[in-house]
Structure 1
Amino acid sequence: MTLLRERLGGAAVLGIPLIWIAVFMLLPYAIIATYSFWIKQYPTFVPAFQFGNYLNLFTDPQYSKVLIRTLKVSLLVSFFAFLLGYPFAYFLAFRCRSQALRTWLYMAVIAPLWVSYLLRAYVWKTILGTEGILNSFLMSVGILSEPSDIFLYNQFAMVVTLTYIFIPFMVMPVYTSLEKIPRNLVEASADLGMRPIPTFLRITLPLSMPGVAAGFTMTFCLTFGDFVAPFLVGGPDGNLVASVIVTQFGTALNWPMGSALAIFVLVIVLAVLSLSDRVERAFSPKEA
C-alpha cells in the first residue's frame, strides 16, 4: 500500500506539469505544424499536405528578405550586447574590489528588467526622435543645424534599442561564468610569467565561454522573435519575421503561411539552442 501511494504521489507530481506542457505547448505546436501544410484559399484555407508554404520562405523575396534582415539584426544585437556586456561583467568579477559597489552596479544592469518592456522601447523612440535628446545635443554643439530623422525608423534604431533591452541577458550569464573561474588559475598564469592579455585569451575567455554561449543564445532568440521594438523604432526597415507572422495571422488571414514562418522560427531557435549546448559542453571544465 505504501509503495502504491508513493507511485500515485509521484505520478501526480509529474503528471500535472506533463499535462500542462502537452496541452499548452505540444498541442499548439502540433496544430501550427499542421496548418503550415495547408493551402490558402480565399476567403479562408483548406487542408492539404504540401510544402509550398515552406518553399515560399526561400523563393518569395518578401519572405526571404525579412528572414535575412531578422537574422542580421539578431546577430548584430547579440554581437554588440557581448561587446558591451562582457567588459562590464569582467570588471564586476575581477576588478571591482568593493562588494557594495559590485552589488549596486549589478543591480543597475538588471533593474531595467523590472520596468515595462514597452516603456523601455518607447524611451529610445523619444531619445532618437527629431525632438529627442540626441538631436538636441548635436544641435547644441553645432554638428547639426536642424533636427535630423536619420536616427529613427531604420535598422540602426532597432539594433540600439534591442541591444539596450536585452543586454542584461548577456551580462548575467557571463558574470556568473566569470565568478566561477578559480582565481588561482589566473594567479598561476601570472606567476609563470604570462602577460595579462595572453592570460585572458588562454584562460579567462575559454572558461567563460559557457556564459557567453548562454548570453548569446538568450539575446539572439529574444531578438529573433521580437516585434514590439521593431514596430516602434524600425519604420519601413522594422519588418522582422515576428511582425510578418502577426500580419499573416491577422490582416492577411493566411494562417498556413504564418504557421510555416512560425515553425521556421522554432527550428532556428532549436538549432541555436543545440549549438549553444555543444559550445557549453566543449568549454565546460572536465571533471577528473
Structure 2
Amino acid sequence: MATGNGSEAAQGLRMVAPPLVYAILMLAIPLLTILTFSFLKDGYQTVIREFTFENYLAVWADPIFRTLMLRSLWVAGLVTLATVVLAFPVAYFLSFVVASRHKAMWIFLITIPFWTSYLIRVFLWKVILGYNGVINSGLKSLGIIEQPLSFLLYNTGSIVVTLAHAYAPFAILPIYVALEKIDRSLLEAGRDLGESRLMTFWRVTLPLAMPGVLAAVLIVFIPTIGDYVTPTLIGGGKIPMVANLIQAQMLDIDNKPLGSAIAVTAMGIVGVLSLIFLFLNRRFLRVRQ
C-alpha cells in the first residue's frame, strides 16, 4: 500500500512539475529580483551592492508616491465597480437566458477581444474618444454639436471606460461560472414559497453568485493598479498612476533600486487591501451550493 501511495505521489509530482517550474521561472524569480534590487543602493548608471532601507524610507517620505498611489487605488476602484456592475447582467443573461446549445458561441464572442493586442484596443479608444474621433464626428454629422467635445479624452473618465472595456471578459467569466453552479431547484423553491423573482434573485441568486463576484473584483482591481499604458495614452500623461512612476524610475531615470522599492511597496499595499477585502467577505466564500 505504501508503495502504491508513493508511486501515486511520484506521478502527481511529475504532473505538477512542469507548471511549477514554469511558475517559478516566470513569476517567483522576477519578483525575487525586484525585491533584491529594492534593498540595494543606486549609483550613477549602476547599482551598488550594499544592503540598505533607504529606498523604502524615500518611498514613504515622497508625497508624489502617496498622491499617485491614492489616485491609482481610486481609479482601480472605479474601474472595478464599473466593470463588475456591467459584467453581472451579461453573465446572468448568458447563464439563465441563453440556451445551453448557444452558450459556447457566446463565450467565444466574449473572448474575441483577447485576439487583439491590448495596445491596439487602447489606441482604438483613443480614436473613438478623440477630438476628431468617432463620437465627435458622429455628433457633428447629426448636427447635435457644432464644435468637437474636448472633455471626452485625457481625463479619469476616459481611463475608466478604456480599462473597464479591456477587463470586462475577466469579470464576466468568473461570475458566469458561479451562476452556472447554482442549483436551479433552489430558485424554483423560492418562487414556490411565494417570493417574487426580484426577491429570489436578492436572497438566493446573488448570495450564491458572490464567490464569482469577489473573484471578478480581485481579477480586475489588482492588474488595473499596475496599468501604465492607458494613463499614458488615454490620459495624455496628465493623470499618471503609480505604475507610471515605477516606469519612470526604472527606465527614464534609471534608478532601479528606488523603482523596485516603489513596486514592492505598491504590491504590499494591494496585497494587504486584497486580504482585508477577502476577510470582510469571508462569509460569501463559505457559500455552499
Q: Into which bin does the TM-score normalised by the smaller protein fall?
A: 0.7 to 0.9
- In structure 1, the partner of 2:59 is 57
5 Å-filtered alignment, 1:86-105, equals 86-96=88-98, 98-105=99-106
CA distance in 2, matches of 1:234, 1:124: 11
Superposed CA deviations along residues 30-67 of structure 1, whole A, max 9, x for unmatched, are 23212212333434343444433223334322211111
Alignment check: 8 A CA contact 1:217 1:272 kept = no
- In structure 2, the partner of 1:70 is 72
CA distance in 1, matches of 2:230, 2:263: 19
Residue identity opposite 2:130 in structure 1: G
- In structure 1, the partner of 2:224 is 223
CA distance in 1, matches of 2:248, 2:42: 14
CA distance in 2, matches of 1:185, 1:66: 46
**Root-mean-square deviation (Å):** 2.9
In structure 2, relative to structure 1, the CA distance for the partners of 1:67 and 1:182 (3 Å cut) is same
CA distance in 2, matches of 1:123, 1:239: 20
5 Å-filtered alignment, 1:205-216, equals 205-216=206-217
- Which of 39, 43, 46 does residue 44 from structure 1 map onto? 46
Structure 1 residue 117 corresponds to structure 2 residue 124: no
Structure 1 residue 83 corresponds to structure 2 residue 85: yes
- In structure 1, the partner of 2:245 is 244
CA distance in 1, matches of 2:209, 2:5: 45
Task: State the percentage of identical aligned residues.
Answer: 37
CA distance in 2, matches of 1:80, 1:286: 25
In structure 2, relative to structure 1, the CA distance for the partners of 1:146 and 1:222 (3 Å cut) is same
5 Å-filtered alignment, 1:153-192, equals 153-192=154-193
Alignment check: 8 A CA contact 1:155 1:237 kept = no
Give the drift of 1:4. Answer: 9.0
In structure 2, relative to structure 1, the CA distance for the partners of 1:27 and 1:135 (3 Å cut) is same
CA distance in 2, matches of 1:287, 1:111: 32
Residue identity opposite 1:149 in structure 2: S
CA distance in 1, matches of 2:216, 2:59: 28
Provide structure 1 residue ranges, at least 5 long, that are not aligned to the other structure. none
Alignment check: 8 A CA contact 2:231 2:237 kept = no
In structure 2, relative to structure 1, the CA distance for the partners of 1:182 and 1:44 (3 Å cut) is same
Residue identity opposite 2:203 in structure 1: R
CA distance in 2, matches of 1:242, 1:61: 15
- In structure 1, the partner of 2:233 is 232
CA distance in 2, matches of 1:93, 1:213: 18
In structure 2, relative to structure 1, the CA distance for the partners of 1:106 and 1:43 (3 Å cut) is closer
How many equivalent residue pairs?
287
TM-score computed with the length of structure 1 as normaliser? 0.86
CA distance in 1, matches of 2:177, 2:102: 17
